[in-house]
Every structure is written in structure tokens, then in C-alpha cells.
Amino acid sequence: MNAGLYQQIQQFYDASSGLWEQLWGPHMHHGYYGREGGNQVERRQAQVDLIEALLNAATDKLGVNLPDRISSFLDVGCGIGGSTLYLAQKFNASGTGITLSPVQAARASARAAAAHLSPQTTFLVADALNTPFADNSFDLVWSLESGEHMPDKHKLLQECYRVLKPGGTLILATWCHRPTAPTGLGSIGLSGPLQPSELRHLKQIYRVYHLPYVISLPEYEAIARAVGFLNLHTADWSDAVAPFWDDVIRSAFSPAAIFGLLRAGLPTIKGALAMGLMKNGYRRGLIRYGVLWATKGDGVMR
């Protein structure tokens, strides 16, 4: 089952990553538009602002000064190396990025060389649920919008815990569905089991973006706690990132985008046409953007 899913994910990103970089830059993730989503920010800057917001929140919530703590980090689902290169330069740290896409790994390596960051960065094709790294290898595990692709969320967090050094930091941001029990998360306040129309909406997104399933942020928190993470903090940043889809949809109608989509092939075209599903998912309160910060405790696996 995982092999088939992984092949679909690989093929999707092999085909679409070049177009994404051409049109939308090296960061293959949402942007941050202020806490309420009202800031007028150029989209590429908003993507950098998201990285900075995640780091700043880690400092505030965990009470740690990350630049003093990070000498090595793992970027889970690194894309074409946007976050990896940014963090390596910011922290003057050794960064390793993993992806299922050989095209992405090769492009990330080329971008590292162009930025003179090859000596401190490595990009590998690897399964995030079974990484090739030793226990206690990294000061930081960074997972930015890759959790939604993982067929086993518990194993993902377990692996993140395993490769972190004791006292190390996890920063995870991922697509979620709304909570199904009252939690106070978000501004819409929906609760209760997912309704048939919501399940249909999610299945459409899964099919286009090759996602096995998504879970709610409270479920991620429960898994992280069960695995052994300490100092857990979560936040729903849906309002802050939802405007990103308006920006991406507008850019998709440029002549360069249309030509690029035709060259990239049917899966990429379907992905572009499905952007409205994400926009509407945020609008109806079904799609949520969940963030989790935590630290590794004593290093004993649970």
C-alpha cells in the first residue's frame, strides 16, 4: 500500500516541482499573512514569514534560543530545499533534507551548490517513516507540510522522536481537518463527527494531492504525547495562512502558468484545478493549518 502511494507522490512532485519553482519560488508551502490573515504581503515574502513565525513561536513557547541550540537539523519533506537552505544559512548549521522525489533532491542539491551551501547541506531520497539516520542525530526536526502525505502519523512522530537528540526540538506544521470534539481551536468552532459532505470534500483533496488521510490537530498532539514528546504546544494558524490560496490561484492564470501546466501533464493540471478545493476548505472551516512545537525528553522510546 505504501509503495503505491509513495510512487504516486514521487511522480506528482517529479512532474510539478519545476513549474512550482518557476512560478512560485523555492518554498513549496503556505505563506503567513499575520495572525488574523489581514497583512498585505507579497506571496514569496509571506512564505519566508511563515518560517520566521514558526521559529519565533518556538522561542516564545519552548523558552529556548534556537540559534544557540541548532548545529544539525533534519528537514522532513524538504521539497527543492527551500527551508533547508534557509535554516542552514540562518543557523550556520548542518542540514539534511529528505524527499521521495529524486527530481526534488537533485534540484535541492543544485540550489545548495549555487548558494555555496553544499558543504553543510545534504539531500536524500528517503522514507520519512524509516529514515537512514542513527538515534539522537539532530538538534531540530523540521516538518513543514509533509505530515499530510504520511500514511502513518504515529510512525512519523515516532521517527522524529527517535532521530532527535535528547532536549532537541520538533517543529511540525501540517494540513489538518477540523477538530471533531470541542477544543476551542480556530475561529469557526465547528465540532462533532465529520459530515458526509466534509468527507467527500476531503476525499477530493486526497485524490488530487495524493494524501492517504489527514487528522485533526488534537489528534497530532495526542500522538506526540504518547510517543514521548514534552513541552507540547499547538496552534491553529488557519486564519494566518488561508489567504495564500487566493494568491496562488491568481498566479495560476498567467500565460506562463498555463503553458507550464500543459507541459507538466495531467496530474499537475488536476492539482492546479483543485486549488479551489483548498480555498473552500479553509472557508468552510474544514481544512485547518495545525502547528505543533515540542521537545524530546529523556530519549527513551515509548
What pLDDT, in 10s, does the model give residues 5-52? 999 999 989 988 988 888 788 999 999 999 999 999 998 999 999 999
Q: Is residue 96 part of a domain?
A: yes
Give tens-digit pLDDT for 205-221: 999 899 999 999 999 99
Q: Is residue 302 part of a domain?
A: no
State residue 197's pLDDT score: 96
Q: Is residue 297 part of a domain?
A: no
Report residue 275's pLDDT band, with 50, 70 and 90 as the boundaries.
confident
Q: Is residue 256 part of a domain?
A: yes
Q: Is residue 261 part of a domain?
A: yes
**Would you say 103 and 13 are in contact if contact means Cβ atoms under 8 Å apart?**
yes
Q: What is the pTM of this model?
A: 0.91
Q: Is residue 54 part of a domain?
A: yes
How many CA atoms are closer than 13 Å to the CA of 197, on its beta-carbon side? Answer: 5
Q: Is residue 300 part of a domain?
A: no
State residue 302's pLDDT score: 43
Q: Is residue 298 part of a domain?
A: no
Put the strands of the sheet holding 164-177 in their side by side order. 121-125, 94-99, 72-76, 138-144, 164-177, 287-295, 230-236
Report residue 267's pLDDT band, with 50, 70 and 90 as the boundaries.
low
Helix axes 196-209, 275-283, angle to 10 degrees: 150
The C-alpha atoms of residue 287 and residue 144 are separated, in whole angstroms, by 16
The CATH number assigned to the domain holding 106 equals 3.40.50.150
Give tens-digit pLDDT for 234-256: 999 999 999 998 887 776 656 55
Q: Name which of 104-108, 134-138, 252-256, 283-287 the model is least confident about.
A: 252-256
- Domain span at residue 154 reads 2-291
Domain count along the chain? 1
